[in-house]
Chains A and B, each alone.
Chain A
Amino acid sequence: MSGVLVVAESRQGALREVSRELIGAALGVKDEADGRVAVAVIGAGGGEHAAVLGAPGVDEVLTVEDAPEHFEAHVHGAALEALIEQEQPSVVLLGHTIDSLGFGPAVAARLELGFASDVTGLDWDGGPVATRGGYGGKVQVELDFPGKETVLLMLRAGAFEAPAENASVPARAVQVSAEPQTEHLGFREVEAGDVDITKAEFLLSVGRGIEDKDALPQFEELAESMGATLSVSRPLVDAGWVSNARQVGQSGKTVKPRVYLALGISGAVQHLAGMQNADTIIAVNTDPEAPIFRVAHYGAVVDLFDVADELAEQFPG
């Protein structure tokens, strides 16, 4: 076993950004893995992406075109198993994405591979060493994979650098036969609603900390008087209090406002993924260990309602 096999990801005809980040991570351990870096694109039309996936150090792009137009977890899984059989890689890299969640763990389980998901760091010490969060992100865990000839890792989007340069790389078509077990019926975009939080320059974002639906109007008013747009974290949408048009995070919108003021948001990974690139992040939370303080520029450990009342006086509207 040697080398790295990267599985690129595309959706609705477009290559997803994480794909090149995976290539960057693969190139980082290429010498230690003692072999080639091959990038696989599974899905009809994948050949079109081959050109974009090349980078200095990538040896080959493998295309598996005999697959449904849209992602199908079982076909992806069978194709990956066949590719692993053929390429015998020591490391397989997938994005920690919704699509990969549907087949990565299945392949690892069936082939009894080494496995870790939501990986944020990749090192080498006789074999791959993966870093990820533990206890809901409150500790950092290093995992190794003794006795495993192949290790499948799902890497967090945004955690690894994509290679700066492109390069032309030979592409090879691979035939895989696999039966889909689900049938695609269609896609649906989020309802647009009356607001586009991705365009807002100042977001006042509230989360689980507000505790009660009845508290919402207070923050709607505060947002208005501060000149901000109100956004929320996932639990408020799950509870049905707020439309998902206002949701920030992996399953909501990715925002990059000039100011992101987060009240009562602890900062689950999925939320951070949607706002960590804001120019200035201010977080108020009663838990001093809340993960949001790690990405915030300014933080305060105080009751959010007390701060909201005081802010309402500072911004009479």
Chain B
Amino acid sequence: MKIVVPVKEVAVLDEEFDLLEDRPGVDPDAIEWELNEWDDFSVEAALQLREAQGDGEVVVVSVGDEEAEEGLRACLAKGADRALRVWDDSLEGADPLAVARVLAAVVERESPDLVLCGVQSSDAVQGATGVALAAHLGLPRVAVVKALDYDGGSGSATVERELEGGLTEMLRVRLPALLTIQTGINEPRYANLRAIKQAKEKPLEVLGPADVGLDDTALAAAAGSRTRSMAPPETGGGAEMLGGSASDVAGRIADIVKERMAG
């Protein structure tokens, strides 16, 4: 079986950061990049399925500049078989629908049995890329999956969808399908040093949108939004900050708790 797992490097801002003045954005010096937390779980789910089946291929795909290769190599070190990276400078700041369009063109060529995405990314938090990708691929999809029982023989998978308030829905989806994977579905593995070394030898192919048949017009039509401005968040009332040592803070907390609980 072939499983494709789209992954993403997410931006983590330093405690202090500056906004750009000439366009909406954050000063890149204040950004660290790391593999999206949700993607740890989707990759792990794919690896576990391949291991349970006894054979198969796990292909990780990312839309991103060279920075994205670190994340892809991390997935290869964990056990993914090969990686694809698609990039063109015109994709800078692409919204989830544009990314989904690019992914669709790449994933289509792979004809996977299953596509596993993270539910959302920790930086953009749109929760849209996976389901938009499924729409382009014409695949059935289930969003926010927290348990997965794959039964290739019957052509279906039984999954659990995590709803609000602790409710779970059990459902069956026909295959091939796309699932967006929720954190906690498994225990993501760590790669050992040897695997990290070996990952450098695994195939990582770099493509441009034109290589998968996409031109600027198609990408512009797919894009869902444009960033108009960026600002520090509204602080609302904001918290009254308690200063001093841990002991001072604990003293104030104790006073507040006693007062509020006494009434």
Residues in chain A within 8 A of chain B (CB atoms): 11, 70, 73-74, 77, 96-99, 101-110, 112-118, 129-130, 133-146, 148, 181-190, 201-202, 226-227, 234-235, 237-240, 244-245, 247, 250-254, 258-259, 261, 269, 279-284, 287-289, 291, 293-303, 306-307, 309-311, 313-315
Contact = CB atoms under 8 A, between A and B. Distances in A.
Nearest to B159: A182
A73 B183 contact: no
Given A105-B132, A143-B225, A202-B257, A310 B13 contact: no
A105 B125 contact: no
Given A296-B239, A299-B242, A310-B249, A130 B225 contact: yes
A140 B231 contact: yes
Given A109-B97, A110-B135, A134-B124, A188 B171 contact: no
Contact of B135 (A109, A261, A300): A109
A98 B246 contact: no
Given A101-B131, A189-B167, A109 B15 contact: no
Interface string B142-185: 11100000000000001011111111111111100000100110
Nearest to B136: A109
B127 interface: yes
A118 B127 contact: yes
Given A202-B261, A302-B246, A303-B246, A310 B251 contact: yes
Nearest to A311: B250
A106 B132 contact: yes
28 contacts: A73-B143, A101-B144, A101-B180, A105-B96, A105-B132, A106-B141, A115-B224, A115-B225, A116-B225, A117-B126, A134-B230, A135-B123, A136-B13, A142-B230, A181-B140, A182-B140, A182-B171, A183-B173, A186-B170, A187-B167, A189-B166, A251-B165, A293-B238, A298-B239, A298-B240, A302-B249, A307-B249, A310-B246
A136 B123 contact: yes
Interface residues of B, number: 90
B190 interface: no
A182 B142 contact: yes
Contacts of A297: 237, 239-240
A213 B141 CA distance: 35
Contacts of A74: 140
B246 A306 contact: yes
B90 interface: no
